[in-house]
Amino acid sequence: RPAPWLAPALAVAAALLWLPQAGILATAVAGIAAGTGAASLVGPALCVLALGLLRAGLEALGGRLAWRAARAQLSDLRGRAVAALSARSPLDAGRIPSGEAASIVAEQAEAVVPWLARFRPARLKAAVLPLAIFLAILPFSWTAALVLLVALPVIPVFMVLVGWKAKAASEAQMVEVGGMNAFLLDRLRGMATIRSLGAIEATALRVRADAESLRARTMAVLRIAFLTSAVLELFAALGVAMVAVYIGFHLLGDLPFGAWGDKLTLAEGLFILLLAPAFFEPLRELSAVWHDKAAGEAGMAALQRAAEPGMALPGAEAEGAAPQTAAATALRLEDLRFRHAGAMQPGPRGLSLAIAPGEHVALVGPSGSGKSTLLSLIAGLAAPDSGRIEIDGRLLDAQAAAGLRARMAWIGQAPHI
């Protein structure tokens, strides 16, 4: 995997090549104005072409390395999130719903790649290139350099202010997307029940309301993105226009100050004019990826939340072990105790039970008395707080859970209402 600094460094190097290109172009145009022959332009034209090809190659290589590194990092994040979700017990009350988990891993995670691939190079260019252009212009005209220096700080301030709002809006949009996916998955699973109860219209109204809420949040994110671009373009246009006006009137002799005591030559004036738009170009690029940053940070936070450990599924790392036998099984429980995290009422407490091979037993009790919890403990989907579970004399613990689960079948209830 390439070093994380390589792609941003290549992007900065490519952007800095515009300085010699601008100098060669300005000198060539000034030569044409002075009446030099066309033959003298061959060398400068070849130099500009070579620098342009080198610049394009560096940009392409830097972008390729950045996207490759971002995709590899996202794959690692996804792997950790999927592993954490797979290792959590179905009894974990804090487990992310299936629809939301699918949205985080498959959809929201994709927002991380543009942020990792584009934002870091753009941020480094915004830090290095304006300073380099300022230092290149300053020896020729302190006035033009001062105009650019005054216009520059206003843009990041507004971008930061707008960026805070953009991040909050992106996080709210992703939460809305995850909630709607979970809602749709739940309703699709219970479609038969919805039809039998005549609740199709009510479900459709709920879907319409959720879709309208998602539309409103999406448009809020887009409005903030357009606001960021508008603020940047306004101050960038004002800065470039002020430099152009000054250079024009200075060359005409109406503004003779600002050039360290001497009047700028045509080549120097053109050089400053060519660099002025490039002074704001890194900030334009940073503004374009500012929304990617907000969405990427929200997606990263969602992935990190999905990767958080919870109630572990015993023996999850050994899942898929082959069943030992298909014969009837003996079951023995001794002083079994379990309580759900944060639950007011305890689950099974002090329960002991012995079931012979081939024996059929029905667990009877009111809703919430712990029947499903007991079956989950026997199936090895969670570890009891205390007590023992033995299957054919073998202790059900983290080492044996995967192998013993492979001998079981689970037919669960599906209460869609």
Closest by alpha carbon to 47, among 32, 25, 29, 30? 25
Residue 211 tokens, joined: 């879709």
Residue 188: pLDDT band (50, 70, 90) is confident
E strand or H helix at 53: helix 42-87
Whether pLDDT at 182 is above 70 = yes
- Give residue-wise pLDDT tens across range 241-298: 888 998 988 888 888 888 877 788 889 999 999 999 898 888 878 777 776 777 788 8
- What is the token pair recorded at 83? 């592993």
The answer to whether residue 322 scores a pLDDT higher than 60 is no
Q: What is the DSSP letter of 109?
A: G
Kindly state the tokens that stand for 121. 């190079």
Whole-angstrom Cα distance, residue 236 to residue 144? 14
pLDDT band at 161 (very low <50, low <70, confident <90, very high): low
How far does Cα 403 stand from its chain's mean position?
38
Res 318: pLDDT: 59
d(CA 56, CA 64): 12
Can you tell me the mean pLDDT for 167-175?
A: 69
Q: What is the pLDDT of residue 24?
A: 93
- Using a pLDDT cut of 70, give the percent of the chain over it: 88
**What's phi and psi for 386, nearest 5 deg?**
-160, 170
Neighbours of 373 (CB within 10 A): 20
pLDDT of residue 57: 94
Cβ atoms of 171 and 301 closer than 8 Å: yes
Least confident of 163-172, 186-195, 354-363, 397-406: 163-172
Query: Residue 351 in 3-state DSSP?
Result: strand
Residue 251, pLDDT score: 86
Element (H, E) at 295: helix 266-306
Question: Mean pLDDT throughout 101-128?
Answer: 86
**Which among 213, 142, 148, 147 has a CA at the least distance from the CA of 179?**
213
Instruction: Give the CA distances from residue 220 to residues 108, 177, 346, in Å, rounded to whole numbers and listed in that order.
Output: 17, 14, 45
Instruction: Say what the pLDDT of residue 225 is.
Output: 67
**Is the predicted pLDDT of residue 396 greater than 80, yes or no?**
yes
pTM of the model: 0.63
pLDDT interval class at 335 (50, 70, 90):
confident
- Residue 362 phi, psi dihedral angles, 5° rounding: -110, 130
Residue 51 pLDDT grade (very low, low, confident, very high; cuts 50, 70, 90):
very high
Question: Tens digit of pLDDT for each residue in 380-391?
Answer: 888 888 888 988
Q: Is the pLDDT of residue 166 over 90?
A: no
Give the residue, 335 or 235, on which the prediction is more confident.
335
Read off the pLDDT of each residue in 101-106 and give the average, rounded to a whole number. Answer: 84
